[in-house]
Amino acid sequence: MYIDLIFITNLLIDGALLWLTAWMRKLKPPWWRLIVAAVVGALYVVMMFVPQLSFMYTFMVKLGLSLLMLWITFGFGSLQNYIRNMGAFYIINFAVAGGIIGIHYLLQNSGDIFNGIWFTASGGMSFELKIGFWFTFIGVFGMLLWFKMVHSTRKQLESRSVFMGEVTVEIGGHRVTCRGLLDTGNQLSDPLTRTPVMVMEASLWEDRLPSGWCERLADGEPDKLVMELEHMDFAWQDRLRLVPYRGVNRTASFMLAIKPDAVEIRIGDGVHHASKVLIGLDGGQLSGDRSYRAIIHPKLVEDDAQSPAAEPLETAGNL
């Protein structure tokens, strides 16, 4: 029964390692290939109980076995792809093994560590590492899950960085610069003039807006703010617009927008300028990690609006 448990455990672990390798390389091998390769790897571990096969526990045999498992799972294809698959497979294995050993040491006290140290007759020092079966079993899948989450987050950040740019907006001689995210699905525009709307956090303009406006915009009262302008003096009053839109729950709402004098958007090596645009004021926080504070309308960065040689707007400082 002990051998059966070892076989099933290594079958699951090898299958998970190969599956994560395929996910990392964006490959979709047939499920039967993955199972056969995992069975081959699990059978090799069972061979440790056969003394006559002790010659198979050499570095070259282990390397050959890993290459065989990769060939069964993904095929050969080309030498370049095969090397990439092998690199991803070993990176995952080393990351998981290193994580398990690190957690094992973290949970040990100094007495447990020194109990595993012993000296040889020649004066050398060795260390005996004892890790429990269930600790290894749970640790492997915990580290695999952690590795997948970290890698997914990294890919998301890399993908998002392609659509990130620097936005500079000028209104009445006041300039604000912030990071913006290009949202290709954003089609928000003024229904009457078809003017695209670029959304920005209202807090960026807090020193230029009447007192308390940011909090009231967060509460969803842009129409009431416009009605109250009759009783106050606001320099940008003639620039204000109310843009209707439908929220996620399909309810009709209004967004308070301001007509700017100029907008400059820098994404990569391209510089885009626009004057026919509205700046929608959002009372909340557009990004949880504050990596961007504006949502760029795709029409503002179309090729016909690009002007790499244009003079950049002078900015009062990045926010």
For 49, the 3-state DSSP assignment is: helix
CA angle 35-41-42, nearest 5°?
Answer: 85
What 8-state DSSP symbol labels residue 319? Answer: -
Distance between CA 239 and CA 79 in Å, rounded? Answer: 62
Confirm if 40 and 69 have CB atoms less than 8 A apart.
Answer: yes
**C-alpha of 277 from chain center:** 30
Q: How many helices (H) and strands (E) does the chain have?
A: 8, 11
112 given a catalytic annotation: no
Alpha-carbon distance of 169 to 278, in angstroms, equals 10
- For residue 295, give both structure tokens: 């949502």
In a 10 Å sphere around its CB, with 0-12 CB exposed, 13-18 middle and 19+ buried, how is residue 254 labelled?
Answer: middle
Q: Is the four-CA dihedral 229, 195, 261, 164 of positive or negative sign?
A: positive
Q: Which of 112, 183, 223, 304 is catalytic?
A: 183
Place of tokens 């990569």: 268
Burial of 103 (0-12, 13-18, 19+ CB in 10 A): middle
Q: Which amino acid is at 263?
A: V
Active site residue ranges: 183
